[in-house]
């Protein structure tokens, strides 16, 4: 498989990592822009934009890492993980009083999930 090797190349040097991160931010912006929420043109402040952008990138990266070890038919385990992650983010967003708290909770949750998966 070349996907894991391609991911490894993106972190082998500072310039490659910078380029990969820049491409990831562009992809996240495109996903948000073409999603139903982004297409609706809902006004949002700078903080909300940055939080949603980081949440989306975190969910994407976590899903990509999950997919690397997913041998289920049609990557069903990864799709289930994505569904749970999105539901968790939506639930947190409804419950959170401010964007900074939401960002911290989701970031620590994603980090915990990644760390736990590495231990298995």
Region 37-52 average pLDDT: 64
A 10 A CB-CB count for 63 gives 17
The pLDDT tens digits for 65-74 are 888 888 999 9
- What's the pLDDT band for 22 if we cut at 50, 70, 90? very high
| CA 4/CA 8 separation, integer angstroms | 6
Question: How many structural domains is the chain composed of?
Answer: 1
Domain housing 62: 3-119
The pLDDT tens digits for 52-104 are 788 888 888 888 888 888 899 998 999 998 888 877 776 666 665 555 566 66
């Amino acid at each position: 498989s070349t996907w894991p090797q391609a991911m490894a190349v993106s972190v082998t040097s500072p310039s490659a990592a910078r380029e990969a991160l820049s491409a990831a931010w562009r992809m996240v912006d495109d996903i948000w822009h073409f999603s139903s929420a982004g297409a609706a043109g809902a006004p949002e402040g700078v903080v909300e934009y940055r939080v949603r952008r980081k949440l989306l990138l975190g969910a994407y990266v976590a899903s990509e890492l999950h997919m690397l070890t997913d041998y289920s038919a049609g990557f069903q385990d990864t799709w289930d993980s994505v569904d749970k992650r999105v539901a968790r983010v939506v639930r947190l967003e409804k419950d959170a009083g401010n964007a900074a708290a939401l960002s911290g909770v989701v970031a620590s949750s994603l980090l915990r999930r990644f760390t736990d998966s590495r231990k298995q």
